Amino acid sequence: MKLENKDKSMLFSSTEIPDVFFTEYMNEASGDFIKIYLCLVFLCKYDRDIKLNDLSKKLNITLQTIQAALIYWEERGVIIKKVNGYILSNLQEIELNKLYSPNLTLSKEDIKKNEDSKYRAKAIECINNMYFQGVMSPAWYSDIDLWFKKYGFDEQVMISLFDYCFNKSALHKNYVKTVAEAWSKSNIKTYEDLEIYSENQDKLNKIKKDISKKLGRYSPLTQFEEAYIEKWILEYGYDLKVINIALKKTTSKANPNFDYLDKLISDWHDRNLKTEIDVNNFLSEIKQKKKNVKILEKQTNYNNFEQRNYDNLDDLYANKKVN
């Protein structure tokens, strides 16, 4: 594999790394991938042929990891594959081209004309100072401006977005964009929307913990189990009081699972039972009907009495253990 330097003017005794590498590329790459890239930058100054096996031994990194790193950096345009090796791209040129893409930035004239843009500019500068120590890459400005347009966030929501990702130690573009997409799907536009969403999420997380505790679950819930709980709360509108009624019924079941709970709670929803009182009244009716059937059986003294089927709920509401 032969390495060539695209910029011959940088053949000095020191190895220079542009600042844009630290602001745009380093935080998303793994430690081994960064190590490999830095070594490539160092070696390319001398236009040397180097075998991947030798590089693996030199860096004490597996050959598979080196191959994966080359693919990773090539996909991001950091290196360009040739027949006999790679060329290292000029990262500053890449970011400059992004910055001056015509569909991504506002002109100074637009910012002056649009009062909203002035507030957005202040919000972006606030993000720069609070979360990037005043050295935010120019490419972030374009992305933030694009997200303002795409998601319709107000300035406080955008700042809160970066605050959330910063506190998660995940202040890189893919994660920020993923969170922004999730907030947008939840119809968050204003800071008031975000506060309501946060309150609902806190409530949801508390209920998830309570359910796990009552089921004796110490491992995290699966994605599908969490989806069940979100359906009961967000779609059906049930609170923990209603869900607790279903949880109590699992004590008569062997190996209770979320499928059983979902069938039970979905049945209540289909019957338009909205509150704890509605559910308890319904269960009392079911219990009384079964009691009446038993009394009738005794009165007739007919052991083969054909029991009436009340909405096919015998298995769902039976007081027996089911495997």
CATH of the domain at 267: 1.10.10.630
Give the pLDDT confidence score for residue 151 in this predicted structure: 92
Q: Which whole number is the average pLDDT over 180-204?
A: 91
Say if residue 184's pLDDT is above 90.
yes
Residues 90, 10 within the same domain = yes
| pLDDT of amino acid 154 | 92
Which of 48-57, 111-120, 177-186, 243-252 has the largest mean confidence?
Answer: 177-186
Assigned domain for 293 exists:
no
| Domain CATH code at residue 91 | 1.10.10
Clarify whether residues 254 and 200 are in a common domain: yes
Average pLDDT over residues 269-275: 92
Q: Is residue 68 part of a domain?
A: yes
**Residue 301: inside a domain:** no
- Is 312 contained in some domain? no
Mean local confidence (pLDDT), 275-300: 84
Q: CA–CA separation, 48 vs 253, rounded Å?
A: 70
Pick the last residue of a domain from 48, 68, 96.
96
Residue 296 lies in a domain: no
- Same domain for 92 and 6: yes
User: Which three-class secondary structure string do you get for the chain?
Assistant: CEEEECCHHHCCCCCCCCHHHHHHCHHHCCHHHHHHHHHHHHHHCCCCECCHHHHHHHHCCCHHHHHHHHHHHHHCCCEEECCCEEEECCHHHHHHHHHCCCCCCCCHHHHHHCHHHHHHHHHHHHHHHHHCCCCCCHHHHHHHHHHHHHHCCCHHHHHHHHHHHHHCCCCCHHHHHHHHHHHHHCCCCCHHHHHHHHHHHHHHHHHHHHHHHHCCCCCCCCHHHHHHHHHHHHHCCCCHHHHHHHHHHHHHCCCCCHHHHHHHHHHHHHCCCCCHHHHHHHHHHHHHHHHHHHHHHHHHCCCCCCCCCCCCCCCCCCCCCCC
Which distant-in-sequence residues (6+ apart) come within 8 Å of 60 by Cβ? none
The mean pLDDT of 179-194, rounded to a whole number, is 93
Give the highest mean pLDDT range of 36-50, 78-92, 217-231, 264-278. Answer: 264-278
Task: Please tell me the predicted confidence (pLDDT) of residue 102.
Answer: 46
Does residue 285 lie in a domain region? no
pLDDT above 90: residue 56: no
pLDDT on residue 321: 47
* pLDDT per residue as tens digits for the range 106-141: 554 554 445 567 778 888 889 988 998 888 888 888
- Rounded mean pLDDT of 252-260? 75
User: In terms of domains, do 63 and 130 share one?
Assistant: no
Within a domain: residue 230? yes
- Kindly report the average pLDDT of the chain as a whole number: 80
Q: How confident is the model at residue 159 (pLDDT cuts 50, 70, 90)?
A: very high
List, for residues 3-28, the tens digit of each pLDDT value: 555 555 544 467 888 887 887 788 88
103, pLDDT greater than 50: no
Instruction: Give the domain range for residue 226.
Output: 196-280
Within a domain: 322:
no
The pLDDT of residue 48: 67
**pLDDT at 244 (0 to 100):** 92
At which of 169, 189, 209 does a domain end? 189
| pLDDT for 1 | 62
pLDDT for res 322: 41
Residues 134, 206 within the same domain? no
